[in-house]
Amino acid sequence: MSAFEPRLDRRQILATAAGAAILIAAPASAVAAALAPKLTTGRGQSFDLGWTFRRGEGEDFEAPGFDDGAWRAVDLPHDWSIEDLAPRDGAVIVGPFDKKAVGGTATGFAVGGDGWYRKRFRLDRPKDGRVEVLFEGVYMASDVWLNGHHLGAHPNGYTPFAYDLTPHLAPDGENVIAVRVQNRGQNSRWYSGSGIYRHVWLDVLPQQARIARWGVGVATRRITDAGADIDIGIRLEDAAPGLTLVSRIRDQAGRIVWQAQAAALGEVRQSASLAAPRLWSPETPNLYTLEIELRRGAAVIDRSVTPFGVRVITFDGAKGMTLNGKPIKLRGGCIHHDNGLLGACAFDAAEERKVLLLKARGYNALRPSHNPYSPAFLRACDRYGMMVIGEAFDAWRAPKLPQDYSVAFEDHWRADLSAMVLSARNHPSIVMWSIGNEIPNRNLPSGVEAEWLLANAVHGLDPTRPVTAAINDFPGRLVTPSEKTARPGHAGVADETSAVFLDVVGYNYKLRKYERDHQRFPERVIYGSESFPKDVFATWDLIDRSPWLVGDFVWTAMDYLGEAGIGGSVHGTGGMISLGAWPNVVSNCGDIDLIGGQKAASLARDVVWGLSPLEMAVQKPPPEGKIEIVRPWGWSDERQSWTWPGSEAKPLAVRVYTVGDRIELRLNGQTLESRAVTAADLKHIEFKVPYAPGTLEAVAFRGGAEIARRRLTTVGAPAAIRLAPERKRAGSGRGDVAYVAVEIVDAQGRVVPDLTTPLRLSISGPAQLAGFGSANPFAVGGFQSVSAKTWDGRAMVILRGQGRAGRVGVEVRGEGLKPGVATLSLT
């Protein structure tokens, strides 16, 4: 029997009668400390529960004796920027948004500032062991103290970091950890969130010897008919004579398919052979698990569990990309890290939901922009088969904003890059590493050297993956690298400064350059690291007929907070269009909206990617005398609706997306028009149809045979609220969230589109409100109150577990509407 205890099962602890009694009696905000699990020996114990929080700066907050009794109890993940702001005289404040926020449109008018967290915990100082705390991500600059001792500072808001607590643990076992978080000035070009927005873990090891943090690497070396060869590297710390390493690989069913034993030295390399391996791919995301045990005799003193996948990925300038020997295209989308109404809080279920939403829309690749993402996100990508570009930085030495990462780059880039690569290198979903996005001054001599330094550092950390970067606009002039400096095989080969040290070159918004550059640089591996949504047709037309073009990542796959109003459209009379301003708070450039709904751009993509043979949407009629002007990252305001009161007899633009070669359009049973769809149409055509209530139907034909039809029907007056839990069962832990969709429907149960109406929410049972709001791109309210408004007839409720199982009732009421009710089971 191992002396090692695996991660605590919080639910078992929560099930105690005493714990349950406290929970029932106390409000959610006051129960956090009661839920915090007792710490024991083991790795990866949750350290999320039982913190106190105060927004703002102050004296002696790090002191162990400081009285934080008046502070707010919080559990992690936590983001104070998504919380409603207090009203201020003369300020224009809506929910968490402040018109005068220093971040402006970039952060979606969200507010940063300073915040402090404190947590008391009982843990005796181990006699010979080691205690370490791991933060998955804190935005932005953090300082951590244990019992008043400063452990360190971490300026990067996205990379994980750890501190050894052992020397400063209190002799009496009563400890206080304090964390100061500063999100000051203009430091982000998107909504960042503020605070400890990802998980915190504690390792309590019985001895000093251990498997180094992120010290296990596992990669596929070869796949043949006989099986797969796997390389394993294990780095140990304080390894002493007499220790042994036991390694084993389990398949998805838990069967041991390989094992070995070795003397535990500082650095151990092993080779495993797997017969008939089940390969990882987006279609079949098979996973194996590598278990490493560090033993002294029969006692296990440390243990790591590493999921991995068996796959081989190649890139070639002429043939493109292959996965396990088969050509594959990156059907990609860029995303930011916030979870909409939850702000930046990286709840596991929210991260997984994001991946599943995009997987369902045909994406097989994501570019988490422009920073490392949460482990939960990467685990979901592994499990569901989503390829990932792991991106490190949005700035190097030259700033994009006065207080952005450039101020810390010089001293911290290597540590941050190492943390990103080493912590995530075993995820099979990660297919390449990006060293930067649209980096200013990259073509200057200092920038070229930085490009080499970063690319080379990544190659040193993980030589199994190519290095890329997202290159906007000017790629620089031709330079020729020497033998010492060049990538293998590229010495003496002239290339552009931005690309010369990249294995795969990401192009931002350069569709018109792809073919020309392929002619100029036939060995260059090219993909679109960012593209405009409206270019989906031309982009994929080119990709589908160009083996050398690896894929594309649209900006963006999903709406996010911040970069307010770069997408969408406005009504005007023509001329230049400006990007959004207050009260825009959402980017409005995503295929998927802020609460997970499918937008018109996604309907088009469904057709382009073969998920659907036919889709139809109608442009929202502009006001009289105005035209719709689509922003650069926008899409026309199209809805799947044929309910346009007030537009009777006016010609409406009906956009049809199809793989058919002919479309027949019918209104109320009468054929209006039958039109051929040619190759030049690139799968989309537009009809003008005088609006009359009823049923609009599009029928698609190919080769004379009907392949699909779509109907839009005029709906009746709003009659009821319908609630639809996305899952009937969800976790009950404080780290669990569950989504309940809200729709306004007519008497026949059809969603009433283009409707904004106030709602009021009530929750019964062991759940707490985590988010309530809509996909509205404008600041119309907060996300953490029981009042919200629909947008386009829809809203979303997000519930957070209170740490005990039970049935949760949700009721949403609205004036003149039959209330919506739903029940969820939290287990």
Partner 1 sequence: MDAPTYPPATAYEPPVAAPYELSVETVSIAELMSAPAAWAIVLKHAPAFKMIVTAPQTKAYLTNFTVDSFVTYGVVSQATIDAIDVDLRQLPRSEWPAQ
Stretch of 126-134, 471-479, 652-660, 692-700 contacting partner 1, by CB under 8 A: 471-479
Rule CB under 8 A: is residue 497 a binding residue for partner 1?
yes
Q: Which structure tokens are listed for 817?
A: 């509407």
DSSP state letter for 702: E
Cα angle vertex 606, ends 602, 608, to 5°?
A: 110
Whose Cβ is closer to partner 1: residue 40's or residue 474's? Answer: 474
Rule CB under 8 A: is residue 438 a binding residue for partner 1?
yes
Rule CB under 8 A: is residue 652 a binding residue for partner 1?
no
Euclidean distance between the first and the last CA atom of the chain, given in angstroms as a whole number: 30
Q: Kind of pairing, strands 767-773 and 737-745?
A: unpaired
Amino acid code (one letter) for 563: E
Question: From the list 441, 640, 757, 785, which residue makes contact with partner 1 (rule: CB under 8 A)?
Answer: 441
The answer to whether the beta carbons of residues 446 and 466 sit under 8 Å apart is no
Could you tell me the smallest distance in angstroms from the CB atom of residue 458 to partner 1?
A: 8
Question: From the list 167, 460, 690, 749, which residue makes contact with partner 1 (rule: CB under 8 A)?
Answer: 460
Rule CB under 8 A: is residue 292 a binding residue for partner 1?
no
Handedness of CA 339, 435, 528, 385 (dihedral sign): negative
Query: What count of other Cβ atoms lies within 10 Å of the Cβ of residue 261?
Result: 13
Question: Taking Cα atoms as reference points, which of 668, 555, 544, 543 lies closest to residue 601?
Answer: 555
Question: From CA 234, how far away is CA 219, in angstroms rounded?
Answer: 12
Measured over all CA atoms, what is the biggest interatomic distance in the chain, rounded to whole angstroms? 87
Question: From CA 97, how far away is CA 678, in angstroms rounded?
Answer: 47
Rule CB under 8 A: is residue 376 a binding residue for partner 1?
no
Rule CB under 8 A: is residue 537 a binding residue for partner 1?
no
DSSP state letter for 413: H
Rule CB under 8 A: is residue 632 a binding residue for partner 1?
yes
Total number of residues binding partner 1 (CB under 8 A)?
A: 61
Stretch of 248-256, 505-513, 581-589, 690-698 contacting partner 1, by CB under 8 A: 505-513
The answer to whether the beta carbons of residues 435 and 394 sit under 8 Å apart is no
Tell me the per-residue interface mask from 303 to 332 with partner 1, x by CB under 8 A, - otherwise: ---------xxxx--------xx-------
| 3-class DSSP assignment, residue 275 | coil
Question: From the list 509, 527, 560, 691, which residue makes contact with partner 1 (rule: CB under 8 A)?
Answer: 509
Could you tell me the smallest distance in angstroms from the CB atom of residue 453 to partner 1?
A: 7
Q: Which structure tokens are listed for 44?
A: 């990866």
Rule CB under 8 A: is residue 440 a binding residue for partner 1?
yes
Stretch of 17-25, 59-67, 453-461, 779-787 contacting partner 1, by CB under 8 A: 453-461
Residue 27 phi, psi dihedral angles, 5° rounding: -70, 160
Stretch of 414-422, 467-475, 668-676, 707-715 contacting partner 1, by CB under 8 A: 467-475
Question: From CA 811, how far away is CA 823, in angstroms rounded?
Answer: 9
Rule CB under 8 A: is residue 242 a binding residue for partner 1?
no
Amino acid code (one letter) for 271: S
Please, which of residues 197-236 interact with partner 1 by CB under 8 A? Answer: 219-224
Question: From CA 810, how far away is CA 818, in angstroms rounded?
Answer: 14
CA 402 to chain centre: 26
Q: What per-residue string of b and e applies to 447-466 under the rule 16 or more CB within 10 Å gives b? A: bbebbbbbbebbbebbeebb
Q: What per-residue string of b and e applies to 167-197 under the rule 16 or more CB within 10 Å gives b? A: ebbeeeeebbbbbbbbbeebbbbbbbbbbbb
Could you tell me the smallest distance in angstroms from the CB atom of residue 580 to partner 1?
A: 12
Residue 156 phi, psi dihedral angles, 5° rounding: -85, 130
Cis-peptide into 224, omega within 30 deg: no
Whose Cβ is closer to partner 1: residue 254's or residue 463's? Answer: 463
Whose Cβ is closer to partner 1: residue 336's or residue 662's? Answer: 336
Rule CB under 8 A: is residue 738 a binding residue for partner 1?
no
The answer to whether the beta carbons of residues 471 and 450 sit under 8 Å apart is no
Question: From the list 234, 467, 505, 775, which residue makes contact with partner 1 (rule: CB under 8 A)?
Answer: 467
Please, which of residues 113-142 interact with partner 1 by CB under 8 A? Answer: none
Could you tell me the smallest distance in angstroms from the CB atom of residue 169 to partner 1?
A: 39
Rule CB under 8 A: is residue 477 a binding residue for partner 1?
yes
Stretch of 59-67, 68-76, 283-291, 476-484 contacting partner 1, by CB under 8 A: 476-484
Could you tell me the smallest distance in angstroms from the CB atom of residue 391 to partner 1?
A: 17
Question: From the list 180, 210, 361, 459, which residue makes contact with partner 1 (rule: CB under 8 A)?
Answer: 459
Whose Cβ is closer to partner 1: residue 337's or residue 442's? Answer: 442
Stretch of 418-426, 509-517, 648-656, 789-797 contacting partner 1, by CB under 8 A: 509-517
Stretch of 55-63, 169-177, 447-455, 721-729 contacting partner 1, by CB under 8 A: 447-455
Rule CB under 8 A: is residue 370 a binding residue for partner 1?
no
CA 246 to chain centre: 35
- The tokens 């200057």 sit on which residue? 444
Rule CB under 8 A: is residue 442 a binding residue for partner 1?
yes
Question: Taking Cα atoms as reference points, which of 800, 797, 776 lies closest to residue 594?
Answer: 776
Write out the residues near partner 1 by the rule CB under 8 A: 219-224, 312-315, 324-325, 398-401, 438-445, 447-449, 452-453, 456-457, 459-460, 463-467, 472-474, 477-482, 484-488, 494, 497, 500, 503, 509-510, 512, 579, 632
